[in-house]
């Protein structure tokens, strides 16, 4: 049994196969999509969602399956993930019991957690989703965790392939942008990893102090090297965007400012000129963002309303990419 928790546990070739499957499913020419029929997917959310919940439910319904959605702390009680803890606080159940019980009710578990933004090493460990994978008896899918958003990354890869043909050899720039509050590094991590696995030239631009996780960057460099491309990190946003085929915009917090919201807000204001505008797209670059996006804080109206902005296409492709992931993870039924 395999899980879809981190793309670090999958090879570029395996991910390319998922992209091919997603394209077949989208075209209505994928026999593997029948694996979703009459299956139940349980969605467990520790934080809010719009696209993630809807795209997973739509993927199941479109292919004859069903989903059950649980909001931790909302329509179900809070869950504990730590080992050996005395549960005399606000968590009424441990994942040790919750994960195997939910496994009995459905065929796969999809979990969305969120970074604590207090300790970068703790976030990188992804303990909540790892606890689900440890105790579940069905495949577990990462709908965004503290460290990665692999469904988003796969959907982004699919979108680039659709818009530009083969992704290999294209120039993919991930640029930081300001925000109003600290956000995790999961999306930029997955964007970088997916682009590297696809064989693109990857550039990451951010102000000093906003470094991504070095383990993630090391794997991305290795995948780029294997494809004959490379990964560059720069503090020069204009240079990073010049000549790019794709400009991928995302905000994230500084690990050095975790737990210091006032200092983080001040830093965002200091770097407000990293707001992405139409001019950053140059002559031909496509504009990508995972959504939701704060207009005129992260990306200016003139860029979002440019015909090269493909954020809605990205959002749709989450559904097809996730259908491919489900088709890959769900075992074939015995005849």
**CATH number of the domain at 150-314, please?**
3.40.50.1370
**Per-domain residue ranges for the chain?**
7-148+318-329, 150-314
Q: Which CATH architecture has domain 7-148+318-329?
A: 3-Layer(aba) Sandwich (3.40)
Structure tokens at 303: 């860029």
Q: What is the pLDDT of residues 285-327, one digit of tens each?
A: 999 999 999 999 999 999 999 999 999 999 999 999 999 999 9
Q: What is the pLDDT of residues 58-76, one digit of tens each?
A: 999 999 999 999 999 888 8
Residue 318: name the closest of 50, 38, 8 by CA. 50
Residue 335, CA distances (Å) to 1, 106, 190, 332 in order: 19, 20, 37, 9
Contacts (Cβ under 8 Å, ≥6 apart) of 265: 180, 181
| Confidence at residue 334, expressed as pLDDT on a 0 to 100 scale | 57
The structure's pTM equals 0.96
| Confidence at residue 114, expressed as pLDDT on a 0 to 100 scale | 87
Distance CA 261, CA 244 (A): 33
* Res. 260: pLDDT tops 60: yes
Residue 152: name the closest of 62, 277, 230, 49 by CA. 49
Residue 97: name the closest of 163, 278, 87, 88 by CA. 87
| Confidence at residue 77, expressed as pLDDT on a 0 to 100 scale | 86
Residue 115, CA distances (Å) to 81, 124, 185 in order: 14, 9, 8
* Res. 94: pLDDT tops 90: yes
Q: Are 7-148+318-329 and 150-314 in the same CATH fold?
A: yes
Q: Within 108-185, where are the H helices?
A: 120-125, 127-135, 150-164
Residue whose structure tokens are 């933004």: 117
Structure tokens at 335: 């005849």
Secondary structure element (H or E) that encloses residue 118, with its range: none
């Amino acid at each position: 049994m395999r899980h879809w928790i981190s793309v670090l546990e999958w090879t570029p070739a395996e991910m390319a196969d998922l992209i091919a499957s997603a394209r077949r499913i989208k075209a209505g020419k994928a026999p593997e999509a029948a694996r979703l029929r009459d299956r139940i997917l349980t969605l467990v959310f520790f934080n809010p969602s719009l696209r993630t919940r809807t795209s997973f439910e739509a993927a199941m319904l479109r292919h004859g399956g069903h989903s059950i959605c649980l909001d931790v702390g909302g329509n179900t009680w809070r869950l504990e993930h730590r080992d050996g803890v005395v549960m005399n606080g606000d968590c009424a159940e441990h994942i040790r019991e919750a994960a195997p019980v939910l496994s009995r009710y459905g065929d796969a578990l999809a979990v969305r957690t969120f970074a604590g933004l207090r300790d970068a090493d703790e976030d990188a460990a992804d303990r909540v989703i790892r606890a689900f994978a440890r105790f579940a008896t069905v495949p577990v899918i990462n709908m965004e965790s503290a460290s990665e958003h692999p469904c988003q990354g796969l959907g982004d890869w699919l979108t680039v392939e659709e818009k530009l043909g083969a992704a290999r050899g294209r120039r993919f720039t991930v640029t930081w942008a300001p925000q109003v509050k600290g956000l995790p590094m999961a999306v930029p991590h997955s964007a970088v990893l997916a682009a590297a696995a696809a064989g693109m030239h990857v550039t990451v631009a951010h102000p000093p102090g906003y470094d991504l996780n070095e383990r993630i960057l090391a794997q991305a460099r290795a995948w780029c090297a294997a494809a004959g491309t490379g990964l560059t990190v720069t503090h020069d946003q204009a240079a990073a965007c010049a000549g790019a085929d794709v400009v991928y915009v995302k905000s994230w917090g500084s690990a050095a400012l975790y737990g210091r919201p006032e200092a983080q807000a001040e830093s965002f204001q200091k770097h407000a000129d990293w707001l992405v505008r139409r001019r950053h797209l140059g002559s031909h670059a496509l504009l990508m963002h995972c959504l939701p996006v704060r207009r005129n804080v992260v990306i200016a109206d003139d860029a979002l309303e440019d015909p090269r902005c493909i954020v809605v296409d990205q959002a749709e492709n989450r559904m097809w990419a996730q259908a491919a992931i489900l088709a890959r993870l769900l075992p074939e039924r015995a005849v």
